[in-house]
C-alpha cells in the first residue's frame, strides 16, 4: 500500500480544472482496472454481511462494536510495520477527518439498526441505500460538476434496490420514526465516506481505518456500557460469526472501499455498495436457501445499469506533474 495520493487534475471536455481540497476529494473519478477489482472484492465482502448477520443471536450494537474494534486491531500491525513511514510529520488536524468518519459510522449504526424493528425491513433497507444520493448532493454543493448521466444512474440504481426489496409501506407513527432513522442512517453513511475521502488525501489506508474504526467502536461502547447493553457473554457460535463478518465485511469490505476512496471518490464508492443488495440475495440463496423475490432480476439489472452509467459518466483523472 502507498501513502497519501498526489493531487489530481480532473478532465471535463477539453480542459483541465484544478480543484480545491474538498472538491478534489469528493469528485467522481472513473475507476481503473485495479479499482474495479478492489471494488468487486469489497462488494463480495459486504454482501456476506446481511445473510451472516441474520444468524447472529448477539445484539446488533455488539456486532457493530466488535467488527470495528477487531478491524482496527487487525490493521494496527500493518500501520506500525509496512506503512509506519506514513506517520512521519502527522499532526492532529491530519487525523480529524478520520475521527469524524468514525463518529459518522457509529451514528449510522445507531440510527439504522433500531429502524429495522420500527419499520419494515424492506423500507429500512431502501431508505438506508440512498447514501450515494446524499454524497452526490454534498459533492455538487462543494462545487463538483456532476453530469446528468450521473443523476440518472443514481435514480436507476435506487429504483433497482426498491424493486429488489419490494418496499411495503406501513403508516404509523412508529413506522414513520423508523423510516426517519433509516434515512438518517443513510445520511450518516454519506458523512462517513465523505469524511473518509477527505482523510485519505493525507493518510494511508491503514492509518485512516485504524483511527476511524477505533473511534466508531469507542462511540458505540460508551453508550452501550451506560445503558448496560451486553458487549460480551455470547455463545461460541456468535463469536465465530462475528469473526467471519469482521473478516469479510470489515476487512475485505470496508477497508478495500476505503482503499479506493482516494482514487474514485465517495459517490462511486457508496454507489458500488448498492451492489451489496443483489449480492446478498445470492449469498442468502446459497447459505440460507432463501428464494429471491420475483422482481429481483429486473431490480438487479437496474442496479447494475445505474452503477455502469455513473462509472461511464465519471471523469477520467491524471496525476499532476511536478511543477504544473
Per-residue confidence band for 31, with pLDDT thresholds at 50, 70 and 90: low
Residue 306 covered by a domain: yes
The pTM score is 0.78
Report the alpha-carbon distance of residue 107 to residue 61 in Å, rounded.
11
Residue 12 covered by a domain: no
Residue 324 covered by a domain: no
Residue 25 covered by a domain: no
Residue 169 covered by a domain: yes
Number of domains in the chain: 1
**Does residue 87 surpass a pLDDT of 80?**
no
**Does residue 5 surpass a pLDDT of 70?**
no
Average pLDDT, the chain: 79
DSSP classification of residue 146: -
Q: Checking DSSP bridges between strand 8-12 and strand 317-319, what pairing results, if any?
A: antiparallel
CB 99, CB 212: distance < 8 Å: yes
Residue 245 covered by a domain: yes
Residue 57 covered by a domain: yes
Q: Residues with Cβ < 8 Å from 50, sequence gap 6 or more?
A: 276, 280, 283, 284
Please name every residue paired with 12 in a beta bridge, in sequence order, or none if there are none. 15
Per-residue confidence band for 213, with pLDDT thresholds at 50, 70 and 90: very high
248-298 pLDDT, tens per residue? 989 988 888 888 877 777 777 887 877 877 787 788 788 778 777 776 778
Report the alpha-carbon distance of residue 105 to residue 2 in Å, rounded.
24
Domain extent for 63: 42-317
**Does residue 1 surpass a pLDDT of 50?**
no
141-187 pLDDT, tens per residue? 877 777 788 888 888 888 887 777 676 666 688 888 888 898 899 89
Report the alpha-carbon distance of residue 146 to residue 182 in Å, rounded.
26
At 27 the pLDDT is 59
Residue 101 covered by a domain: yes
At 244 the pLDDT is 94
**Does residue 318 surpass a pLDDT of 60?**
no
At 14 the pLDDT is 33
| Cell numbers describing residue 212 | 476511524
DSSP 122-144: HHHHHHHTTHHHHHHHHHHHHT-
Amino acid at each position: 500500500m502507498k501513502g497519501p495520493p498526489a493531487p489530481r487534475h480532473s478532465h471535463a471536455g477539453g480542459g483541465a480544472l484544478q480543484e480545491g481540497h474538498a472538491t478534489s476529494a469528493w469528485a467522481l473519478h472513473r475507476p481503473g482496472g485495479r479499482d474495479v477489482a478492489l471494488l468487486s472484492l469489497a462488494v463480495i465482502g459486504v454482501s456476506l454481511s446481511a445473510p451472516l448477520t441474520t444468524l447472529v443471536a448477539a445484539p446488533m450494537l455488539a456486532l457493530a462494536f466488535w467488527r470495528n474494534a477487531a478491524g482496527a486491531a487487525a490493521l494496527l500491525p500493518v500501520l506500525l510495520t509496512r506503512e509506519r513511514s506514513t506517520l512521519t510529520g502527522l499532526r492532529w488536524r491530519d487525523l480529524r477527518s478520520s475521527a469524524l468518519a468514525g463518529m459518522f459510522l457509529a451514528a449510522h449504526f445507531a440510527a439504522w439498526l433500531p429502524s429495522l424493528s420500527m419499520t419494515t425491513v424492506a423500507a429500512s433497507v431502501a431508505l438506508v441505500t440512498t447514501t450515494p444520493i446524499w454524497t452526490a448532493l454534498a459533492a455538487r454543493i462543494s462545487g463538483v460538476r456532476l453530469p446528468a448521466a450521473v443523476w440518472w444512474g443514481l435514480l436507476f440504481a435506487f429504483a433497482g434496490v426498491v424493486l429488489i426489496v419490494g418496499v411495503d409501506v406501513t403508516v404509523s407513527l412508529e413506522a414513520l420514526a423508523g423510516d426517519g432513522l433509516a434515512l438518517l442512517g443513510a445520511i450518516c453513511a454519506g458523512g462517513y465516506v465523505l469524511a473518509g475521502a477527505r482523510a485519505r488525501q493525507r493518510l494511508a489506508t491503514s492509518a485512516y481505518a485504524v483511527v476511524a474504526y477505533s473511534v466508531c467502536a469507542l462511540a458505540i461502547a460508551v453508550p452501550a456500557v451506560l445503558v448496560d447493553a451486553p458487549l460480551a457473554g455470547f455463545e461460541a457460535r456468535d463469536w465465530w460469526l462475528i469473526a467471519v463478518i469482521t473478516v469479510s465485511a470489515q476487512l475485505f469490505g470496508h477497508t478495500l472501499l476505503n482503499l479506493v476512496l482516494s482514487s474514485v471518490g465517495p459517490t462511486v464508492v457508496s454507489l458500488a455498495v448498492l451492489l451489496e443488495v443483489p449480492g446478498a440475495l445470492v449469498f442468502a440463496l446459497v447459505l440460507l436457501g432463501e428464494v429471491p423475490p420475483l422482481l429481483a432480476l429486473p431490480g438487479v439489472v437496474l442496479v447494475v445499469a445505474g452503477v455502469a452509467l455513473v462509472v461511464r459518466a465519471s471523469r477520467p483523472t491524471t496525476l499532476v506533474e511536478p511543477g504544473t
